[in-house]
Amino acid sequence: MVVIDKIHLVVGLGNPGRDYEKSRHNVGFWLLDEWAAKARAIFSKEQRFQGLLAKGVTGMYGLKPTTYMNLSGRSVSAFAKYYKLSPSQILVVHDDLDLPVGSVRLKHGGGHGGHNGLRSITQEIGTDGYRRVRIGIGRPPEGWDVTNYVLGLVKPDEQAEICAAIIKVVDCLEAMRLGAFEQVMNRLNTRDKKKAEDI
């Protein structure tokens, strides 16, 4: 039986297919790839969950919806219903335009902020009470189309900063699985805020 408030499922948001592999919008997929390498987990297609699913050695699951971003909630909802998860047992990792490149923020609940993946998840599971990891990709230059920006390729310097953020989060996933989400949130958010103030 799953214990409430311990993270049981990590959902990485992104779009399937080679055309999107290196786009800013696929940050969630990148994090799950890093987690899978560390957790000795292998992703395989799970049709009933409309996604790629892996299970780590400690029992945590990683899910990459293959529905495309704006229908991600179908995958998350199917998994949550099958395993009878509460929203607080679900951690969603996604890109965030409102954070500087490589910044990290954890939060519990809240609006979708215009992110179509979050909007879909909230609609499908009927609540916004799941947990999130927001990884900053920065805002596009003035005059740029936002859709083209998030689906565009990450620059090498941005890649390094985002990868560093991903590693930082992956190193904390086991603590979150064991129920220390609030402690991890306070530590990472404070450290990240201090870094931003030093710039």
The residues annotated as belonging to the active site are 25
User: Which residues are CB-contacts of 78 (< 8 A; sequence separation ≥ 6)?
Assistant: 48, 49, 50
Q: Do the Cβ atoms of 111 and 63 come closer than 8 Å?
A: no
* Distance, CA of 107 to CA of 186 (rounded, Å): 10
